[in-house]
Amino acid sequence: MSKPLPPGTRTFLKRSRIAAPAAEVFRWHARPGAFERLTPPWEHVRVVEKRGGIEDGARLVMRLGPGGFGPLWIADHVDYVADEQFRDVQTSGPFAFWEHTHRFEAAGADASWLEDRIAYLLPGGMLGSLAGEPFTRRKLQRMFEYRHRITAGDVAAHARARAAGPMRILVTGASGLIGSALVPYLTTGGHTVVRLGRGGGGADTIQWDPAAGVIDRAALEGFDAVVHLAGETVSGGRWTTEKKARIRDSRHDGTRVLVDALTGLARPPKVLVSASAIGVYGDRGHEVLREDSAPGEGFLAGVCREWEAATAPATAHGIRVVNLRLGVVLSAAGGALATMLPPFLLGVGGPVGDGSQFLSWIAVDDVLDAVLFALTTPTLTGPVNAVAPHPVTNADFATTLARVLGRPALVPFPAVAVRLLLGEMGNALLLASTRVQPERLVTAGFSFRHAELEPALRHLLGRP
């Protein structure tokens, strides 16, 4: 049991009804990856040490602050009761006192109450409390609104996929924007994830070097599914000849090496979900594009065609292949949205070019759900557009982002400046118009968490 609270202790409470049994929500929290899923992207936290899970005696050591160079926070777990509660208590950190109790209570046969109760005391005595209390309450409210939405969404997505059972899944590109979110998302769902990467091998990593055509084939035996996300980033400056070669080769050659290895296995995986992009459609103005629309022209369209074609031998070998054509993935942790935030926060954001070009976006949590849906939906094959059902113009995106941030959107980025500074890359990523619909996902019964842009941005940025 917890000890008596120090005098002056404040309490914060967040309680939400989750459409799943208490034991199921508890197990989600107990699995590897829950802390990563629950940490908002705007909170700068670096895990230094993790000992155990949530049971008594487990410990989490974190470094706070941008770059992970701020104060150290050590939390020990106590008062574990299976399917009902666990508690973490600060033994060293920025608060004078911190005790966080997680409670899970039945709310009928198929629902539960998720309760986070935090008892805390700010440093600096009465003066510290007076000065820091309003900021602390806002910060906690923002954080736990996000955490409860993530919990509810993840638990619901995994419940929908439950019939497929737990899988052993191989993931490439696990350190990228999508991969780093996908791994904890899958492990909290009860799946076993192994990374295929260039780092050293281990229990959760298999080594490969796609550029050299090297892959540990024997270690690939026994996987139920593969998610292939690896590829050179297409953003980050002008496209030199060398950069374009890396973009093309990392996708085509890397996919070819992987598929060649998978088709040579004694027991190949049942399904391969391989990333692609809506760049395959090229610059198409206001034309509504679906999976059966003809490919477009240009460098990115050519790269995507080769990328998808490299998976064809897997299909011929009897592996179900889904080519997930990703739109602009929105996440505060990186990518396009994170790049836009600094100028918009400074009040100097605005539309790019004339703003009439369409932007087909998707929130990162919907990408994760789409990957799981593709893995567990046997009827889904071939190209699948992973975009939200309501694309917007660039001008509408700028206006919405500015409104969410409480800033103006009055400073345009002229097309001539885009072409001068970024060349072909700027034309393809910022000025091209691609108006895409997720027809195959919708037809197959996929459920979006974030179908509309403004609620998506408010969730991703913690701006209720």
26 — pLDDT class (breaks 50, 70, 90): very high
Per-residue pLDDT tens for 97-112? 999 999 999 999 899 9
Per-residue pLDDT tens for 335-385? 999 999 999 999 999 999 999 999 999 999 999 999 999 999 999 999 999
Per-residue pLDDT tens for 245-300? 999 999 999 999 999 999 999 999 999 999 999 999 999 999 999 999 999 999 99
pLDDT of 124 higher than 90: no
Rounded distance between C-alpha atoms, residue 384 and residue 379, angstroms: 12
When pLDDT is averaged across residues 21-47 and rounded to a whole number, the result is 95
Residue-level pLDDT at 128 = 74
Residue-level pLDDT at 464 = 84
Distance of CA 94 to the CA centre of its chain: 28
- Report residue 63: phi and psi, to 5°: -110, 125
Rounded distance between C-alpha atoms, residue 393 and residue 413, angstroms: 15
Residue-level pLDDT at 201 = 58
The token pair that represents 61 in the structure block: 């050591």
Element (H, E) at 16: strand 10-18
Question: Looking at the domain covering 10-156, what would its CATH class be?
Answer: alpha beta
Least confident interval from 86-95, 127-136, 439-448: 127-136
* β-sheet bridge partners, residue 106: 112
Residue-level pLDDT at 68 = 66
When pLDDT is averaged across residues 229-251 and rounded to a whole number, the result is 93
Mean pLDDT taken over the chain? 95
Residue-level pLDDT at 109 = 87
Query: pTM for this one?
Result: 0.95
pLDDT of 147 higher than 70: yes
pLDDT of 244 higher than 80: yes
Least confident interval from 26-40, 96-110, 164-178, 191-205: 191-205
247 neighbors 425 (Cβ within 8 angstroms)? no
pLDDT of 1 higher than 60: no
Rounded distance between C-alpha atoms, residue 428 and residue 234, angstroms: 10
- Report residue 54: phi and psi, to 5°: -125, 5
16 neighbors 148 (Cβ within 8 angstroms)? yes
Tell the CATH topology of 162-461. Answer: Rossmann fold (3.40.50)
When pLDDT is averaged across residues 227-234 and rounded to a whole number, the result is 95
Instruction: Choose the most confident range, by mean pLDDT, from 35-49, 194-208, 375-389, 410-424.
Output: 375-389
Residue-level pLDDT at 3 = 72
Rounded distance between C-alpha atoms, residue 189 and residue 202, angstroms: 22
pLDDT of 200 higher than 70: no
When pLDDT is averaged across residues 214-242 and rounded to a whole number, the result is 93
In this structure, the number of other CB atoms found within 10 A of the CB of residue 225 comes to 24
pLDDT of 34 higher than 90: yes
pLDDT of 2 higher than 70: no
435 — pLDDT class (breaks 50, 70, 90): very high
127 — pLDDT class (breaks 50, 70, 90): confident
Residue-level pLDDT at 198 = 84
Domain with CATH 3.40.50.720 in the chain: 162-461
Q: What is the largest CA-CA distance in the chain?
A: 71
